[in-house]
Structure 1
Amino acid sequence: MKRSVAAKGCTKEKYLLAFLLGFGTMLFTVLPMMLTERGYFIYYGDYNAQQIPFYSLANDAARSGGLGWNWFTDLGSDFLTSYSFYLSGSPFFWLTVLLPRGLVLYAMPVVLALKHGIATLTAYAYIRRFVRGKNAAVTGALLYAFSGFQVYNIFFNHFQDVTALFPLMLIAMEENINCRRKGVFALTVALCACVNYYFFAGQAVFLILYYLFRMRCRDFHTSWKKFFGLLFEAIIGSLMAAFILLPSAMALMGNYRISERLYGADMTAYTDKTLLPRLVQTLFMPADPPAYPNLFSSDYEKWASIGAYLPLFSMAGVISFMHLRRKHWASKLLFCCGVFAVIPILNSLFQAVNSYYYARWFYMPILIMAMMTAHSLDDEENSGFTGLKVCAAMTIAFAVMGCFPAKPKDGEKAKLFTMPEDVLYFWITIGVTVLFLVCSYLIFRRKKKGRLSTAFVVFVTAVSSIICVFTTTLYAANSVTSAREYIDTAIDGEDEVWEPVSEDNFFRIDISADCDNYPMIWGLPTMRAFQSVVNTSIMDFYSYVGVPRDVASRAKLSHYTLRGLFSVKYYYKEKKEGCSYEELLRSTPDSSSSSSSNSADENTDIAIIPDELPDFRYVGETEHFEIYENELYVPMGFAYNTYITKKAADDKGKLQREKVMMKSLILTDEQAEKYSDILREYDPERDTSMSRESYRMFCREKIACSAKSFSFDSHGFTSEIDLDSPELVFFSVPYSSGWTAEVNGSPVDVEKVNEGFMAVRAEKGSNTIVFRYRTPYLREGVIISCISTAVLAVYVLISRRKRSKGDYADHRHFYDYSSCEKIKAAQEYCDSLFNTKA
């Protein structure tokens, strides 16, 4: 007999157990790597290239109060808006700021485990609202915290911040509607908006769907009044996060990546034929690691976060639940999410209708799937065998596909068992899937016989979670040798810096490919960076000179002019066997003619740097790098007395444009007219070749009229320069509306020149130029946040005064089934409640 119960919890909950299991399970999986990697957790790809450098850089910025302009992010960017997608709004990051600086990178795997512990805790709190059995709810929470999505996104460490806190939004909505708890939903909205604005956009869409499917349920006591109250809190919560949302949103406006849209047939069907099969596969098999799609190999969506597998149970519990409860709100919501996943335009709604494909919203329906699985485990009427049969059939189907031959190369014969990119790894994942299916079958069989120990199921789920993490991470992670090389080269490489920068000694460096963000750890400004969210002026500039700038700044050596324009003083070339400077000179008799940097695929390992970068001279080496110094180093801040109009520059080739910039500023027609009294128009036709010799000549000219001092901090910079005549002084600092300037104490206009940088007018004689920086829209955002917080406080106080003493709704849990976890006293109490209501 079904029982419908609506009552407050009367027994001790397992919040602590849920947290410790999540925390301990994750810590156990990373511990072997930590032990072999000197206490660090070194993974691969973006985790090493971004997460570790970002945590290092952001900690340095936070501890020094440098939360304004960050000179170590690409050519310079605003700290708050550049890292609000990654960590500047995350409470987990700010916890690391409390640690001694030397422990921060060691603490990253512990913080990762903490995130999984919090994810398990919050998921348990949500699932318990619908699942009577506490151990079943803990099991479901583990499934959420260690789902394929979570395992995949260890690669993107900051995604775990979002998934850890998301269940709080659903809990708060339920509390608002069913318990009339005012203000909590607004607080969770504000928290999640601060943590990551990109994911917050997707959460808003999911919350709307969630409400629509819950609104007609008998356990969701909504009304128009409650709806508008909920909407009010959603708006107030968003406004409370304006101090980070507003500056971030305005900073993104010029980023071309957010303006890409779907059109025509692309709105209804994916162009990649492997995508839909991969989506199905990830429901029934452990997730492939990022960048390594295995069975359905593809060059697309390699980092799309395609992962949804639930450890141990796969889709067995979900399918059985949907089969038994077709009209349940969770079944309808999950079906709707499935439709959204397979139709491109609907999928794009979770990322502000952007055309780039990502599955980074899957964690939200996965929470519902975890709840459904826990429900199936706890429901006496649910045998689970329907779902097991479907899972078994799908596993067999994928195993058969693994036997297919891959398309042979020319001249080769087709061979069976070659469709997967990595055959061994594929069959390992098939083996893990089969093992879990067998265990699930045994669990559901014991449940049917009434002999199931739910505590044992929790233990088996935790072990299965460990196996899932190991299966993915140990396959994808760097070898121990590579990990230790990364530690020596990147993390400990600061000790080998050839020349450090200081507040009054500024310069930039360039560095070998695959070492993009090492300078972030070392505290060196650099022209090479792997960071997706930077000042949009950087993107404007690189687009104008023909350098691709999607997620990273990686100007090839053929763009040697940029090293002069950006005040690059050193080039750090990573040592590779057989590619030292002396070895390359011996192997290339006529080194001056060996230029390889114009090729499509530049290989800097075999490049002779002095041949590629004019006047870069080998000056020595450290344990891991050869150092080349720029003998034509132009200090930051140098003057121009000539210009070329943007219209004239547009008529030139993109590579020629950057070479022109070393001689003349590129100005708009309005700017050219404004400064016609001090600048003359340059005719680039007389230097049609723009040769290396002309580049050298231009550099010497700029050195002669460069600043004699330059000091900087996160609030701006000060430069001193002596001029023989009034000129425009150029700084290779990305333009932002947050900059203001004074020359000799008088305000001056900050001009955007050279398609992305800044210049100001300076007069004849000695000039002290002061630039000050303020994050655009931060002050306005703070004001909005403060007002919204005050409005919420008043709203909560008024709501509490209006509420009578017994006005709290006695409704936090709703169980519409008989549980397998039967505690006699509790069951009798629930039965009595049911009989009374009946």
Structure 2
Amino acid sequence: MQKVRSYFKEHYPLLLSFWGPLLLMLGYFIFRKMYPFGTSSILTVDMGQQYVDFFQFFRRTLLTDPSNFFYSFSKAIGGEMLGEWAYYLCSPFNLLILLFPGKSIMAGIIVITLCKYACAGYCFGRLLLKRKIQTGILVPTFSTAYAFMGWAVANQLNLLWLDVLVFLPLIILGLLDLMDTNRGYAYTFWLAALLFINYYMAYMVCLFLILFFAWYALTSFTDVKKLGKQVGLFVHRSLLAAGLAAFLLIPTFISLKASKGQYTTQTIHFKWEYFPPKMLTKLVLGAFDFKQMPSGYPNIFVGSLVLFAFLLFFFNRRFKLSSRLAALALTGFLLVSMCFEPLDLMWHGFQFPVWYPYRFSFLLSFWMVFLAAQAFNSPTSSPKWWQIWGCFFIEAGILGYSYTVMKKVSYLNRTVLIFSALFAVATLLLLSIKPTKTKNLRNLCLYLLVLGELVANVCFSLNNISYLTAKEYSNPSQALTQDAQSVHKLDNSFYRTGQTYSRTRNDGLALNFNSGSYFSSALEKAIPDFYGQIGNPDGDNYVSYSNGTLISDSLLDMKYFFNQKDSSELEHKSADLNLAALTEKQDLNLYRLVKDNVYSRIYQNPYASGIGYLAGPSLKSLPSLYDDPVTYQTNWLNAVTNTWPTTKYFTAKNFNEVVFQNTSQTINLTGATLKRKKANADAQVIFKFVPQTNNSYYLTLGTGLNSDNVSLFIGNRPLSYYSTFRHTTIVNIANHAKGQEIVITARFKKQTLSLNNFVLYELNNPLVISKLKQVQAHSWQLKQFNNRKLSGTITVPNKNQLFTTTIPYSQGWQAKVDGKAVKTFKVQGIFLALNLPKGKHTVSLSYWPPYFNLGLALSILSLILIFIPTLLKRFLKQN
């Protein structure tokens, strides 16, 4: 027991720095009844729609299928994965996920979140102790303020970013030691680790390191020679860090050129993004809610003590005037960066963030806590009376300004302003106490007060956020898992699988099937471009294969479909597992039912062509065509069957009757803009038609018909379709419905409604099926396959045919025909293809990340440059 007491007395600052944040956040998770402590979950926004699926993918790759590491066909229609690992999955904390299978992964995410908060506090405490900036109870005071900064709380749902809070203090500690001792590689290794774990956050840290180094070099300046040596060491060790991570950074950079790099902002506006004083509202408690996610102000909350001590740093004469002025310049640069567009873009790699603006604001918070801890490290630290009053009036100004804009800012209310004022006043009262005999008691009270304020900020902020219930995650996951396992038992060949219900766009990634949908910040631009042409929803970072036709289903090898049962079929089985429909899919009437599961059915598409097939040479020159998916798919099938552009498959049809209610009328529907007659009354248009055949019928919907503008119904139920899209989509509304009246109702959500590209089409099913059978007859017969290697045979009956796949083109794919390497090329702006001579051939494809070998060589060289000099010195000393 005595040893335990002695250990705690010696190490309690770091113990509290670790366990304080962990236990405080654990208490909040229990309070919110998050799984496993209740019926809620930690999943919200991207955590629920994206990251949890990546964690499932992480488990599967490490435990069962390492071929996923470089490439995966669960990424939309296929894509490289090294860049995804570099952005999402390289955190060492993710290894904890291996301990949490199935729905328990929600608990695993909570464990990882708690560990990152705890390690952030510990590492900052280590920086304070090692640099002798703080001692005693003030170490966990500032460490907890750092771990619980407003940026961390607001971005808790972006769990992959929180690693930067763990590694930044270690990087700074390594840099400071390097500058003081001129030796050591701790800085290099910690920076390399962050570059490996998350290059995006590391990029921001690298920019900050330049500023931080300039400040510290000026602070410690004695002569030019010393400064030159410091600059040389800083550049040398930084380049070595980049070299150590080059094996991942270089192929990731190549990947980014095809994905995020395609969206780099070309025009920069020299303007203020908002009125800068609005940033002050982020210094009060609870300055976060859902509205701050897509667009908002930088998250810079650090608590009253840190704010006041930070301000007092600039008046503390213990620090050289040059140091304080340089610190003021650095602070000003960071503040301007958070409201001036060119600098904001620079910090984000010259791309405006999609949601979560000002992602680099953690750097200002770190800087504030770092300076605050230095300003408050004197044994006799006690601000003068005029400094106390100065801080009081500054806080009063912040709260006063926040009160004046309270009605315009969603997260502000009287309660948070009152509590902010109470904590600020209490902090100033404690700071005004002379730290003589009462110093330890005062500092303990400051610690407890800081904990209280930080917990209050967590509660006010996160109580503004709603989370998925545990069942909202586990129920659809349970159904999809059953479907995925069933289809794997039915068929062990290569194929893609469509869905008429889903949990997220990354279901396939999470549950090991090739779904055709995907959501990622590193999605190659060619994929959403292609989806936009075939009438499926797309965005800069997502695609959804929810709007397939008989043609696209078959040419993309969508061999199976998961289809939800409706609620009436589930009443005797599970009333609480009602799977929401993602899309209309009346073409399932053409497909064969192969499995009837508890919550869903699985259908097989008998016309799926396989992942590779022969095509006519005209496919090489197939033109891009947006907002006309019918023509594009017609041209695509004709080019594949060598009949382009002669054969017609779709026929535009008229509605039998159109009823206008409280809206202007028109004869020509397509392209018309309808207006409400009575502004406050409901308005709708009813479209009726009776199919004359059992063919497939489709509606094309222009962007004016998304869910922001209209509610669509089929019969007396909502029309199931993906409700957000930026190009014209196509919806399958009838099949085998000859003689049955189909009624489509469009209810206005605004005063006007645009019917752009609103057309009803009938597909000539017998003709299309005959063409698809031709494609099947000359398809690639795979003998071996995984995510990196595919090999099979194909017979070419005639000359002037090309072999095309529906694998997205990449430099990483290498092709061999009958054992000999051949060149590949791109068709349709996306797909991998190659030329084949007449006859039967074995075609093999293998994938290796472009420039991975170069990056690996640079990493090995960097290791040699680090260790060889050290080994030589030891050898020379021994001899």
Q: Indicate the TM-score class for this superposition, using the shorter chain for normalisation.
A: 0.7 to 0.9
For residue 522 of structure 2, the aligned residue among 507, 515, 533 is 533
Q: CA deviation at 1:40?
A: 8.6
**Structure 2 residue identity aligned to 1:42:** I
1:103 & 1:255 partners in 2: Cα distance? 33
- Over 3 Å counting, the alpha-carbon distance change for 1:460 and 1:393 in structure 2 is same
For residue 817 of structure 2, the aligned residue among 743, 751, 773 is 743
Q: Does 1:548 align with 2:524?
A: no
Question: 1:510–1:568: 8 Å Cα contact kept in structure 2?
Answer: no
Which residue of structure 1 lines up, in the alignment, with residue 359 of structure 2? 360
362-371 or 302-311, larger mean C-alpha shift: 302-311
For residue 475 of structure 1, the aligned residue among 464, 467, 476 is 464
Which residue of structure 2 lines up, in the alignment, with residue 382 of structure 1? 383
Which residue of structure 2 lines up, in the alignment, with residue 454 of structure 1? 443
Q: CA deviation at 1:441?
A: 3.3
- Over 3 Å counting, the alpha-carbon distance change for 1:475 and 1:624 in structure 2 is farther
For residue 443 of structure 1, the aligned residue among 420, 430, 441 is 430
- Over 3 Å counting, the alpha-carbon distance change for 1:174 and 1:39 in structure 2 is farther
Select the structure with the greater relative contact order (CA < 8 A; seq sep ≥ 6).
1
SS of the residue corresponding to residue 618 of structure 2 reads strand
Q: Does 1:563 align with 2:553?
A: yes
Which residue of structure 2 lines up, in the alignment, with residue 225 of structure 1? 229
**Structure 2 residue identity aligned to 1:433:** S
- Over 3 Å counting, the alpha-carbon distance change for 1:213 and 1:734 in structure 2 is same
For residue 309 of structure 2, the aligned residue among 295, 302, 317 is 317
Q: CA deviation at 1:490?
A: 2.3
| Correspondence list, 1:331-730, <5 A | 331-356=328-353, 358-379=357-378, 380-382=381-383, 384-402=388-406, 404=407, 419-421=408-410, 426-446=413-433, 450=438, 452-478=441-467, 482-490=469-477, 493-497=480-484, 499-501=486-488, 504-512=493-501, 515-542=504-531, 548-555=538-545, 557=547, 561-572=551-562, 605=581, 608-610=584-586, 615=590, 622=597, 625=600, 627=602, 629-641=604-616, 643-646=618-621, 648=623, 653=628, 656-665=631-640, 682-684=644-646, 692-693=763-764, 695-709=768-782, 711-725=784-798, 727-730=801-804
Q: Kindly, what percent of the aligned residue pairs are identical?
A: 17
| Correspondence list, 1:92-171, <5 A | 92-97=93-98, 105-128=106-129, 129=131, 131-171=133-173
For residue 845 of structure 2, the aligned residue among 734, 754, 771 is 771
2:772 & 2:434 partners in 1: Cα distance? 79
- Over 3 Å counting, the alpha-carbon distance change for 1:684 and 1:369 in structure 2 is farther
- Over 3 Å counting, the alpha-carbon distance change for 1:262 and 1:729 in structure 2 is closer
Question: 1:37–1:483: 8 Å Cα contact kept in structure 2?
Answer: no
**Structure 1 residue identity aligned to 2:467:** N
**Structure 2 residue identity aligned to 1:115:** K
SS of the residue corresponding to residue 737 of structure 1 reads coil
Which residue of structure 2 lines up, in the alignment, with residue 70 of structure 1? 72
1:262 & 1:799 partners in 2: Cα distance? 50
Q: CA deviation at 1:661?
A: 1.8
Question: 1:69–1:715: 8 Å Cα contact kept in structure 2?
Answer: yes
How much is the aligned-residue C-alpha RMSD, in angstroms?
3.7
**TM-score, length-scaled by structure 1:** 0.78
Question: 2:287–2:461: 8 Å Cα contact kept in structure 1?
Answer: yes
- CA deviations 1:457-489 (Å, max 9, x no partner) are 33333343333223333331325xx33221222
- Over 3 Å counting, the alpha-carbon distance change for 1:50 and 1:198 in structure 2 is same
Q: CA deviation at 1:695?
A: 4.3
**TM-score, length-scaled by structure 2:** 0.74
- Over 3 Å counting, the alpha-carbon distance change for 1:534 and 1:159 in structure 2 is same
Which residue of structure 2 lines up, in the alignment, with residue 787 of structure 1? 861
**Structure 1 residue identity aligned to 2:481:** E
527-536 or 94-103, larger mean C-alpha shift: 94-103
Which residue of structure 2 lines up, in the alignment, with residue 279 of structure 1? 279
**Structure 2 residue identity aligned to 1:175:** D
Q: Number of aligned residue pairs: give it.
A: 728
198-207 or 61-70, larger mean C-alpha shift: 61-70
Q: CA deviation at 1:341?
A: 2.0
SS of the residue corresponding to residue 362 of structure 1 reads helix
SS of the residue corresponding to residue 116 of structure 1 reads helix
Unaligned runs of at least 5 residues, structure 2: 1-8, 572-578, 652-760
Question: 2:247–2:852: 8 Å Cα contact kept in structure 1?
Answer: yes
SS of the residue corresponding to residue 361 of structure 1 reads helix
1:320 & 1:626 partners in 2: Cα distance? 67
Q: CA deviation at 1:347?
A: 2.1
- CA deviations 1:438-462 (Å, max 9, x no partner) are 4423432446684543234333333
Q: CA deviation at 1:628?
A: 5.2
SS of the residue corresponding to residue 169 of structure 1 reads helix
Q: CA deviation at 1:314?
A: 6.6
1:686 & 1:496 partners in 2: Cα distance? 36
1:81 & 1:305 partners in 2: Cα distance? 29
Question: 2:638–2:645: 8 Å Cα contact kept in structure 1?
Answer: no
| Correspondence list, 1:812-827, <5 A | none
Q: CA deviation at 1:60?
A: 1.1
Question: 1:635–1:706: 8 Å Cα contact kept in structure 2?
Answer: yes
- Over 3 Å counting, the alpha-carbon distance change for 1:382 and 1:544 in structure 2 is farther
Q: CA deviation at 1:621?
A: 6.3
SS of the residue corresponding to residue 770 of structure 1 reads strand
739-748 or 520-529, larger mean C-alpha shift: 739-748
**Structure 2 residue identity aligned to 1:16:** L
Unaligned runs of at least 5 residues, structure 1: 1-9, 294-300, 405-418, 582-602, 666-678, 804-838
